[in-house]
């Protein structure tokens, strides 16, 4: 019978492969001469991250004799991986994270806190630009992390499109931004005023915070969430109206979730302006747009600012680095943190990512004296506020971010999104926050 032959063959082949395969995946125990470093994805691909970090970590190895095992982790996986590491105690020695998660992760107790003695080993508090230290953990506690890369929001605008539309200057107020966007918009030519990462929940959360603050909103008061306050509704409305009422955003943007899409469209001149973090400078360049073809300004504020409104054009964004408490090689881990936050490394790494150094000396380098970087520095210094550093911050981003994302989808589908809708959705998020916490 033929079937029997086939089975025998298949079984044989499988056996060979299985015996070859079993016992795979051995792990290495921590020793004083090795470290594991989890780096979140900063570049345009995981590979690019490896190419940038590889030589630097080699340098570290030459200096200290400590070999670093690098793993670059994509954002979709990062929180799960950190969770796995936290609950198992089996994690990397050093890892970096989005700085807004600092207080949430600090609350798990899985990370070495940077008390005075510890932070002294990585250059002391004085090493870092003070504003970057505001988003490293809950207030009143020693930082859970130290800053690694700085980021801030800015308004990117395409100079050529502005000139074609007869616009001489970038907008100075939010009202001007909307008016300019309308002039730039021409749906027939598939050209729009503003580009948006509509399906990214983190962007949604950041803008809700930013525009909410401009309208006077406070996300948490006395530990209680206030996502559905009139000021928050007005803030979210301000953002959504770009797409819904003013129609200066391509509805297709509601599907956009990663930077590649929006950066490519911006470089191709499909829209005139985008509000995005500083890392975009690297991506825009890679998409073939020269540095002098676009400008970067602070995201303009409404004029006059609504009652109680604050001058917030960005949150204090960035990437923090921390040491896992279970690390078998804490000294080595701190040496790596010290190395990565040293002025020389700060210059190399931040230039590669398009992010901002977190130590002042790095700005001596002419690479960080471009107009764009000047703008971002100014935003961080004058118009940035720290997202609430409380354990529930990660949930705020998820809940409010997804609410904004859902509203954008509605607006893109042509459904009217009014204050009542926004309020009821935000109220839902608020209740979930209370129930889940």
Q: Which helix (H) or strand (E) is 379 found in, with range?
A: helix 371-382
48 lies in the site for other proteins, by CB under 8 A: no
Given 188, 307, 420, 435, the residue binding other proteins (CB under 8 A): 435
Distance CA 271, CA 317 (A): 25
Distance CA 345, CA 52 (A): 11
10 lies in the site for other proteins, by CB under 8 A: yes
CB 161 within 8 A of CB 270: no
CB 185 within 8 A of CB 248: yes
Given 15, 139, 163, 381, the residue binding other proteins (CB under 8 A): 15
344 lies in the site for other proteins, by CB under 8 A: no
* Closest to 336 measured CA to CA, from 42, 136, 38: 38
Q: Mark the segment that binds other proteins (CB under 8 A) among 228-236, 333-341, 345-353, 402-410.
A: 402-410
Distance CA 114, CA 264 (A): 40
HSE of 122, CA atoms in CB hemisphere, 13 A: 29
Closer by beta carbon to other proteins, 77 or else 418: 77
Closer by beta carbon to other proteins, 19 or else 62: 19
Given 73, 129, 194, 274, the residue binding other proteins (CB under 8 A): 73
193 SS3 class: strand
Q: Mark the segment that binds other proteins (CB under 8 A) among 294-302, 342-350, 356-364, 409-417.
A: 409-417
139 lies in the site for other proteins, by CB under 8 A: no
Given 118, 310, 409, 421, the residue binding other proteins (CB under 8 A): 409
Cβ neighbors of 160 (< 8 A, separation 6 or more) are: 269, 293
Q: Mark the segment that binds other proteins (CB under 8 A) among 6-14, 54-62, 312-320, 365-373.
A: 6-14
424 lies in the site for other proteins, by CB under 8 A: no
Given 369, 413, 418, 419, the residue binding other proteins (CB under 8 A): 413
For the bound state, the minimum distance from the C-beta of residue 427 to other proteins, rounded and expressed in Å, comes to: 8
The radius of gyration of the chain's CA atoms, rounded to the nearest angstrom, is 24
Task: Find the binding residues for other proteins in span 284-323 (CB under 8 A).
Answer: none
54 lies in the site for other proteins, by CB under 8 A: no
80 lies in the site for other proteins, by CB under 8 A: yes
Closer by beta carbon to other proteins, 120 or else 252: 252
Beta strands in 316-424, from DSSP E residues, in sequence order: 317-323, 384-385
Distance CA 358, CA 101 (A): 18
Q: Mark the segment that binds other proteins (CB under 8 A) among 66-74, 117-125, 217-225, 353-361.
A: 66-74
CB 273 within 8 A of CB 158: yes
CA-CA distances (angstroms) from residue 264 to 188, 191, 258?
Answer: 20, 14, 11
Cβ count within 10 A of residue 402: 15
Given 34, 46, 59, 342, the residue binding other proteins (CB under 8 A): 46
Task: Find the binding residues for other proteins in span 208-267 (CB under 8 A).
Answer: 252, 254-255, 257-258, 260-261, 264
Token couple for 254? 């509601």
Cβ count within 10 A of residue 233: 24
Closer by beta carbon to other proteins, 130 or else 437: 437
Task: Find the binding residues for other proteins in span 85-124 (CB under 8 A).
Answer: 86-90, 104, 107-110
391 lies in the site for other proteins, by CB under 8 A: yes
Q: What angle do CA 213, 215, 220 make, to 5 degrees?
A: 45
Token couple for 156? 């990117």
For the bound state, the minimum distance from the C-beta of residue 399 to other proteins, rounded and expressed in Å, comes to: 8
6 lies in the site for other proteins, by CB under 8 A: yes
For the bound state, the minimum distance from the C-beta of residue 166 to other proteins, rounded and expressed in Å, comes to: 29
For the bound state, the minimum distance from the C-beta of residue 85 to other proteins, rounded and expressed in Å, comes to: 10
Token couple for 94? 């050093």
280 lies in the site for other proteins, by CB under 8 A: no
For the bound state, the minimum distance from the C-beta of residue 39 to other proteins, rounded and expressed in Å, comes to: 11
Given 47, 175, 361, 374, the residue binding other proteins (CB under 8 A): 47
Paired residues of 353 in beta bridges: none
Paired residues of 314 in beta bridges: 384
């Amino acid at each position: 019978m033929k079937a029997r032959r086939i089975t025998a063959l298949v079984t044989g082949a499988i056996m060979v492969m299985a015996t070859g395969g079993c016992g795979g995946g051995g792990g290495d125990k921590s020793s004083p001469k090795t470290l594991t470093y989890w780096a979140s994805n900063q570049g345009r691909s995981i590979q690019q991250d490896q190419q940038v970090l590889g030589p630097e970590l080699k340098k570290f190895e030459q200096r200290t004799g400590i070999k670093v095992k690098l793993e670059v982790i994509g954002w979709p996986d990062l929180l799960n991986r950190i969770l796995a590491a936290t609950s198992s105690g089996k994690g990397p020695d050093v890892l970096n994270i989005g700085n807004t998660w600092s207080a949430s992760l600090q609350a798990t107790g899985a990370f070495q806190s940077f008390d005075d003695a510890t932070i002294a080993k990585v250059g002391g508090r004085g090493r870092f630009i003070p504003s970057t230290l505001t988003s490293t953990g809950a207030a009143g506690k020693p930082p859970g992390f130290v800053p690694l890369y700085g980021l801030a929001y800015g308004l990117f605008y395409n100079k050529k499109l502005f000139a074609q539309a007869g616009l001489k200057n970038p907008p100075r107020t939010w009202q001007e931004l909307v008016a300019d966007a309308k002039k730039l918009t021409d749906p027939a030519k598939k050209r729009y005023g503003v580009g948006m990462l509509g399906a990214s929940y983190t962007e949604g959360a950041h803008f809700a915070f930013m525009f909410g603050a401009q309208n006077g909103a406070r996300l948490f008061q006395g530990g209680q969430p206030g996502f559905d306050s009139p000021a928050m509704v007005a803030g979210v409305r301000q953002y959504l109206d770009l797409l819904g009422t003013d129609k200066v955003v391509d509805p297709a943007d509601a599907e956009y979730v990663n930077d590649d899409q929006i950066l490519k469209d911006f470089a191709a001149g499909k829209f005139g302006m985008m509000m995005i973090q500083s890392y975009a400078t690297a991506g825009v360049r890679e998409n073939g747009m020269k540095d002098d073809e676009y400008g970067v300004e602070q995201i303009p504020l409404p004029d006059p600012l609504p009652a109680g409104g604050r001058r917030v054009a960005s949150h204090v964004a960035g990437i923090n680095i921390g040491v896992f408490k279970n690390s078998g090689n804490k000294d080595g881990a701190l040496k790596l943190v010290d190395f990565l936050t040293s002025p020389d490394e700060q210059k190399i790494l931040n230039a590669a990512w398009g992010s901002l150094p977190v130590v002042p000396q790095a700005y001596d380098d002419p690479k960080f004296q471009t107009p764009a970087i000047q703008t971002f520095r100014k935003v961080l210094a004058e118009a940035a506020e720290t997202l609430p550093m409380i354990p529930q911050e990660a949930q705020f981003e998820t809940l409010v971010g997804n609410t904004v994302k859902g509203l954008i989808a509605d607006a893109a589908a042509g459904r009217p999104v009014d204050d009542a809708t926004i309020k009821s959705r935000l109220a839902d998020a608020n209740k979930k926050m209370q129930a889940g916490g």
